[in-house]
Amino acid sequence: MSTNATEFDRARAAMPGGVNSPVRAFGSVGTTPRFFVSASGPRVTDVEGRDYVDLVGSWGPAILGHAHPAVVEAVQDAATRGLGFGASTPGETELAEIVEARIARDCMRPIEKLRLVSTGTEATMTAIRLARGATGRDLIVKFAGHYHGHSDGLLAEAGSGVATLAMPGSAGVPAPIAAQTLVVPYNDLDALREVFAARGDDIAAIIVEAAPANMGIVPPALGFNAAIADLAHENGSLLILDEVLTGFRVGPAGWYGIDPVSFTPDLITFGKVIGGGLPLAALGGSAAIMDLLAPLGPVYQAGTLSGNPLAVAAGLATLHHLDAAAYERIDAASHAIADAAASALAAEGVAHVVQRSGNLFSVQFTDTAPTDYETVKAQDAFRYPPFFRAMLEQGVSLPPSVFEAWFVSAAHDDTAISQIIDALPAAARAAAS
């Protein structure tokens, strides 16, 4: 009979590390990765037939829960009409129109045109090329601990798997390319001002996670996004707001819609939720900037599978079902779980902070709320693996890294929430020992 251990042995013989994305190898939590065979609503089932309440949610896309009937039906229906045409479809335009209408605030509609791509990595990579094409400048500013996918220029001091593996960046990135990226501590306006004072004329764009979630949750300081938008614009640079993770998750208009201080990004990137579980991502902005893309403009971008009809169908069905009631359910469930995690750790005397950005949250093992990558790295990260394993043993699947957010879905019903809450005291005890 197949077990998680036998599957992992087989996978390691056939694939590097046995995985197709590094964090899945469970390297930082010290146990065997689970091999899943099916999922439904808030639950996933492994090859051994064990069920887990899932707080990974496919790393974000499964916001309605796994295999939501309406999304599955939309994909099945699309599949019967053809898996892809390599040509335009009405669904792509419909999706673009929906995104353009949704991303609105204070009468502002920062997205007039949208381009569909297949991954968040492509979305940010293209946004950067576009910013360079629009400004005629080369340098990009990113923040330490932020993750924008794995394109060469964006791996320096990146969050997510790069943070989990404690890598400073990646081998294979030529030094001249790495030199085009200036890395600044997050939430530190003075440091950013210094960089602009020295190199402002050469900076094409600042790229920022709208509310960082790839070093655990580290909320932006009040007004930080607005301040960096101003600084970029004063210097003739663009602001690329990366909403691959937060977009359509923390609210109908993403973080842009709920940031306490209004601001105007030039380009916004999306992924995860927009594809409803299939490979789809996007970037959008004003017509003046977006029309610089080929075929209208000189900035090239293309994709065999861009706007794939199955992915578009899944995205449309997902956005259609993400109404006010769905966000209310996600927000309530996420607050209940976050509060329970904090209480369980407090009861065991474990130093912790549960930071939140909207309905996203993560547990950090420290007394003082981290504000940047340095303070995130200073936490007692060794407490997470036993915490994680105790949850897993009790049938709760958490992200296998302390540097990742916990993803709650609209399908997390009272039974699922109770199972998570009931598992937390034992996990807190494990973290304490």
Q: Which residues are catalytic, by number?
A: 147, 242, 272
Nearest residue (CB) to ligand PLP, 123 versus 231: 123
Residues 158-197 that bind ligand PLP (CB under 6 A): 160
308 near ligand PLP, rule: CB under 6 A: no
- Which ranges of 42-149 does DSSP label H, i.e. alpha helix? 69-80, 90-102, 120-135
Interface residue with ligand PLP among 209, 266, 348, 372 (CB under 6 A) is 209
Size of the site for ligand PLP (CB under 6 A): 16
Retrieve residue 301's tokens. 């971008």
Structure-token pair, residue 167? 């890598």
The three-class DSSP label of residue 114 is strand
Q: Give the residue with the Cβ less far from ligand PLP, 116 or 344.
A: 116
Among 217, 245, 390, 408, binds ligand PLP (CB under 6 A): 245
Q: By CB under 6 A, which span of 65-73, 239-247, 327-335, 420-428 interacts with ligand PLP?
A: 239-247
Assign 261 to helix, strand or coil: coil
Terminal C-alpha separation, the chain: 35
What are the start-end ranges of the E strands in 234-334?
Answer: 238-243, 267-270, 281-285
What is the spatial distance between Cα 205 and Cα 22, in angstroms, rounded to a whole number?
Answer: 28
Positions of E strands within 383-432: 396-397
Residue 242 in the binding site for ligand PLP (CB under 6 A):
yes
Task: Catalogue the E-assigned strands of 252-390.
Answer: 267-270, 281-285, 353-357, 360-364
Binding of ligand PLP by 311 (CB under 6 A): no
User: Residue 382 corresponds to which amino acid?
Assistant: F
Task: Give the residue with the Cβ less far from ligand PLP, 120 or 389.
Answer: 120
Separation CA 364–CA 217 (nearest Å): 9
Residue 214 engages ligand PLP in binding (rule: CB under 6 A): yes
- Binding window for ligand PLP (CB under 6 A); candidates: 66-74, 144-152, 326-334, 395-403: 144-152
Nearest-approach distance from CB 302 to ligand PLP, in angstroms: 17
Residue 209: is it exposed, middle or buried by C-beta count within 10 angstroms (0-12/13-18/19+)? buried
Stretch that binds ligand PLP, among 200-208, 228-236, 242-250, 287-295 (CB under 6 A): 242-250
| Shortest distance, position 431 Cβ to ligand PLP, whole Å | 25
Q: Give me the least distance between CB of 214 and ligand PLP, in Å please.
A: 5
* Tokens (6 digits) for 57: 């949610």
Q: Which residue is nearest to ligand PLP (CB)?
A: 120
CA atoms within 13 A on the CB side of 124: 26
**d(C-alpha 311, C-alpha 238), whole Å:** 29
* Beta pairing partners, 115: 283
R_g (Cα) of the chain, nearest Å: 21
**Least separation in angstroms between CB 26 and ligand PLP:** 17
| Residue count of the chain | 433
Nearer to ligand PLP by C-beta: 244 or 322? 244
Please, are residues 366 and 384 in contact by the beta-carbon 8 Å criterion? Answer: no
Q: Which stretch binds ligand PLP (CB under 6 A): 113-121, 292-300, 330-338, 355-363?
A: 113-121
Instruction: Identify which range of 191-199, 216-224, 227-235, 241-249 contacts ligand PLP by CB under 6 A.
Output: 241-249
Contacts with ligand PLP in 267-306 (CB under 6 A)? 271, 281
Among positions 355-414, residues that touch ligand PLP (CB under 6 A) are none
Which residues contribute to the site for ligand PLP (CB under 6 A)?
A: 59, 119-121, 124, 147-149, 160, 209, 214, 242, 244-245, 271, 281
